[in-house]
Amino acid sequence: MVEVYTSSVIEAPADRLWAAVRDFNALPNWHPAIAESRIEGGQPSDQVGCVRAFRLKDGGFIREQLLALSDYDFSCTYSILESPMGVENYVATLKLTPITDGNRTFAEWSAEFDCAPGRESELTDLVGNGVFQGGFNALKEKFGS
Amino acid sequence: MSVKVECSTVIDAPIAAVWDVLRDFNGHDRWHPAVRRSSLEAGRQTDQVGAVRNFTLQGGERIREQLLSLSDKEHRFRYAIVDADVPLQNYLAEVRLKPITDGNRTFWHWSSKFDTPPGQENELRDLVTQGVYEAGFEAVRERVERTRPGTGIAAPALSAGNGIDGTAMVIDRHGGPEELHAAKIKAPAPGPGQVRIKQTAIGVNYIDVYCRTGYFKLLEPPQAPGMEAAGEVIDIGPGVSHLREGQRVAYACPPVGAYTSHRTMGAALVIPLPDWIDDETAAAGLLKGMTAQFLLHQVHAVRPKQTVLIYAPAGGVGRMLCQWANRMGATVIGATSSEAKARIARAAGAHHVVTPGEKSLEEQVMDLTKGHGADVIYDAVGKDSFAHSIAALATPGHLVSFGQASGDIGSWNVSSLASKSVTLSRPNYGHYTDTPEKIAAISADLFDAIRSGTVKVEIGQKYKLSDAAEAHRALEARETTGSTILIPDQT
């Protein structure tokens, strides 16, 4: 089992950031790697169990299922159903926590997955730096003061 | 009534350093300003779950607290009040740290739930929030951000094989300029969130003198002073995304340690330099210019037609304040001691200059403003000027006290400030420049001001790094004009 953990500080209030990231179908609005996204079966994007199907800008196709969504503690957990990355049992959580001294947010994005032996560090870098840190950097640019 | 308190902050230090301070259940008396004494009951160890600590607070109150859980894996502990002289009932608290992987910093969350007697909810919530948690944040911040190794002099290089040899000007004990001496250092390979810089120009600021003498507790010998430099990135550690090898960069931030030819440091507050600005200008102007930026735009937002009084208008920050405030459309009055300095102030944009004469400073300011007074006063003189500043203010007026060249201001009765509806600010450089986002915004504004000619960085003196002692002597003797920089010796 590989574990990846990326965290950052974003200079924007947590409720504002949450409004943007809680929409399970909104990745193309803020994540630079995502080209387009839709929710399968016409379900609402905050219905736990819904599946998003999205296409990366590099052409890759990914399906992910929403496992948990909490407006109470600003967190969202999902799994990968299908992807070109070569990961199994991939479960990730994105969580925002307000930083009370200053109107900013502590953002955490973590994942656990299995992969073929020898690919651990490559995938850790792809997920941790590419997907997670890349998303944080985009949120900083979009929402940071 | 049940009360819930949640406080959180960011500490600019690796999680191990913060946890090292916090996991000691019996250590609060060494850092928390509210705790005078702490002892463990029944001979327990500080990391023994179930241990009871006995606090005596500064006011003499006693509190007994029990450690309920401690996890080095999760950087988390919980504790409860067993009994106390303050009416916090069923008090259960948790301290939790998390690493901020983007910058090698630490997120610190401190929360609790408790009951209070009816009517005391707000008072006790404020006590816990401000008196205990927020005061604790600041105390730990000061402790770990100050003692972090800056140049790698005292700390053994983690990977000595990759260390780059360099020379620093360090002190082995606090004292006069003669304490500054050359020392061979190794700048270690950058760790996570760090950058290694080959420095080309180093800014000298009066705060360096305070660090050298020990007046400010920012430098623990053996260590190099210095808060500001420019240079070229040699390499970066994991997780650094805003810098790259070979890039020209500069910084003006703690921890101290800039008086060195090569430096490995946290990269978060290091900024890339635009092509058009040279290293020497950046090293000479960044700290003073960013100070002028937040004083004029953030601490007080100066508006056209406002009257601005600036002390020491011929000095480094003072001159930039005059230039910038003038460009912002304010009426600028400089307050200085001699005609020579008054000429410099006028050249920098002061419309009027007051010097010691038959009339007091406040009488001269009132004459110049037809009895209105100064809308905002930037006062870095401190003890000798404070009363005059209050007297020279308009109603309502804003006194920005940002230094104490003449000594500590001491105690003042705040009730008297009501006579003019005075706003008093004591801004701290660190608080306006402690995140990459703040530094980016302030430095961008400063670079625009330099490029447009609004702010001029004047390098009055240039010394070899090995002559840092001579630079300090000149600065303390008030022989310098404009900015002073140090250039690392060719090796």
Predicted local distance difference test score (pLDDT) of residue B322: 97
Tokens 């003038």 belong to: B326
Q: What percent of chain B stands above pLDDT 90? A: 67
Chain B residues with CB under 8 Å of A8 CB are 100-103
Predicted local distance difference test score (pLDDT) of residue B491: 57
Beta strands in B224-285 (DSSP E): 228-236, 248-252, 262-266, 271-272
> With an 8 Å Cβ cutoff, are B437 and A97 in contact?
no
Q: Which of B10, B103, B438 sits opposite A99 (nearest CB)?
A: B10
Is residue B267 predicted with pLDDT exceeding 70? yes
Q: Decide if the complex's ipTM is over 0.85.
A: no
- Domains of chain B are 2-147 (3.30.530.20), 160-287+432-487 (3.90.180.10), 304-426 (3.40.50.720)
How close B384 gets to chain A, by Cα (Å)? Answer: 34
Best of A9, A110, A124 to disrupt the B interface (most B CBs within 10 Å) is A9
> With an 8 Å Cβ cutoff, are A137 and B137 in contact?
no
Contact partners, residue B42, CB within 8 Å, separation at least 6: B52
pLDDT band, very low/low/confident/very high, at B403 (cuts 50, 70, 90)? confident
pLDDT band, very low/low/confident/very high, at A145 (cuts 50, 70, 90)? low
DSSP character string of B54-68: EEEETTS-EEEEEEE
Q: Which tens digits make up the pLDDT trace of B273-309?
A: 999 999 999 999 999 999 999 999 999 999 999 999 9
Q: How far apart are CA B173 and CA B155, in angstroms?
A: 17
Q: Kindly report the pTM of this predicted structure.
A: 0.55
Of residues B147 and B17, more confidently modeled: B17
The torsion angles phi and psi of B53, rounded to 5 degrees, stand at: -105, 145
Chain B residues with CB under 8 Å of A98 CB are 8
pLDDT band, very low/low/confident/very high, at B149 (cuts 50, 70, 90)? very low
Predicted local distance difference test score (pLDDT) of residue B156: 33
Chain A residues with CB under 8 Å of B99 CB are 5, 7
Provide mean pLDDT across the span B443-455. Answer: 95
Q: Which tens digits make up the pLDDT trace of B174-194?
A: 999 999 999 999 898 888 888
Is residue B424 predicted with pLDDT exceeding 90? yes
> With an 8 Å Cβ cutoff, are A5 and B241 in contact?
no
Q: Is A6 part of the contact surface with chain B (CB cutoff 8 Å)?
A: yes
How close B100 gets to chain A, by Cα (Å)? Answer: 5
Is residue B91 predicted with pLDDT exceeding 90? yes
Rounded alpha-carbon distances, angstroms, from residue B125 to A53, B97, B107, B205:
47, 22, 22, 41
Of residues B150 and A139, more confidently modeled: A139
pLDDT band, very low/low/confident/very high, at A90 (cuts 50, 70, 90)? very high
Chain A residues with CB under 8 Å of B107 CB are 7, 9, 97, 99, 106
Predicted local distance difference test score (pLDDT) of residue B152: 37
DSSP character string of A128-140: IIIIIIHHHHHHH
pLDDT band, very low/low/confident/very high, at B59 (cuts 50, 70, 90)? confident
Provide mean pLDDT across the span B233-248. Answer: 90
Q: How far apart are CA B313 and CA B323, in angstroms?
A: 10
Within 84-113 of A, beta carbons closer than 8 Å to B belong to 97-102, 104, 106, 108
How close A26 gets to chain B, by Cα (Å)? Answer: 24
> With an 8 Å Cβ cutoff, are B10 and A11 in contact?
no
Buried b (16+ CB within 10 A) or exposed e, B307-325: bbbbbbbbbbbbbbbbbbb
Predicted local distance difference test score (pLDDT) of residue B468: 97
How close B7 gets to chain A, by Cα (Å)? Answer: 5
Best of B5, B102, B294 to disrupt the A interface (most A CBs within 10 Å) is B102
Provide mean pLDDT across the span B350-379. Answer: 95
> With an 8 Å Cβ cutoff, are B99 and A7 in contact?
yes
Predicted local distance difference test score (pLDDT) of residue B151: 38
Q: What is the mean pLDDT of chain B?
A: 90
DSSP character string of A55-115: EETTS-EEEEEEEEEETTTTEEEEEEEE-SS-EEEEEEEEEEEEETTTTEEEEEEEEEEEE
Q: How far apart are CA B414 and CA B395, in angstroms?
A: 16
Q: Which of A99, A136, A140 sits opposite B8 (nearest CB)?
A: A99
Q: Which tens digits make up the pLDDT trace of A118-135?
A: 999 999 999 999 999 999
**Lowest model confidence (mean pLDDT) among B159-163, B428-432, B446-450:** B159-163
User: Would you tell me how many other CB atoms lie within 10 Å of the CB of residue B64?
Assistant: 15
Is residue B489 predicted with pLDDT exceeding 80? yes
pLDDT band, very low/low/confident/very high, at B357 (cuts 50, 70, 90)? confident
Best of A3, A72, A101, A136 to disrupt the B interface (most B CBs within 10 Å) is A101
Q: Which tens digits make up the pLDDT trace of B298-350?
A: 999 999 999 999 999 988 899 999 999 999 999 999 999 888 899 999 999 99
What are the extents of the domains in chain A?
Answer: 2-143
pLDDT band, very low/low/confident/very high, at B221 (cuts 50, 70, 90)? confident
pLDDT band, very low/low/confident/very high, at B422 (cuts 50, 70, 90)? very high
- Find the residue in A nearest to B97 (Cα): A106
DSSP character string of B308-334: EEEESTTSHHHHHHHHHHHHTT-EEEE
Provide mean pLDDT across the span B87-114. Answer: 94
Sign of CA pseudo-dihedral B301, B302, B303, B307:
positive
> With an 8 Å Cβ cutoff, are A9 and B441 in contact?
no
Q: Which of B102, B107, B437 sits opposite A145 (nearest CB)?
A: B437
Q: Which of B134, B241, B435 sits opposite A133 (nearest CB)?
A: B241
> With an 8 Å Cβ cutoff, are B7 and A98 in contact?
no
Contact partners, residue B89, CB within 8 Å, separation at least 6: B114, B115, B116
Q: What percent of chain A stands above pLDDT 70? A: 99
Rounded alpha-carbon distances, angstroms, from residue B10 to A11, A16, A97, A98, A101:
12, 19, 12, 11, 8
> With an 8 Å Cβ cutoff, are B241 and A140 in contact?
no
Q: Which of A137-141, B39-43, B476-480 has the highest mean pLDDT?
A: A137-141
Q: What percent of chain B stands above pLDDT 70? A: 97
Nearest 10 degrees: CA dihedral of B355, B357, B362, B365?
A: -60
Q: What number of C-beta contacts closer than 8 Å exist between A and B? A: 62
For residue B405, give the nearest of B323, B485, B475, B482 by alpha carbon: B475
Provide mean pLDDT across the span B130-154. Answer: 72
Please give the helix or strand (H or E) that residue B294 lies within, else none.
helix B279-294
How close A9 gets to chain B, by Cα (Å)? Answer: 7
How many angstroms separate the first and last alpha carbons of chain B? 69
Is residue A77 predicted with pLDDT exceeding 60? yes
How close B457 gets to chain A, by Cα (Å)? Answer: 27
Provide mean pLDDT across the span B110-115. Answer: 96
CATH code: domain A2-143 is 3.30.530.20
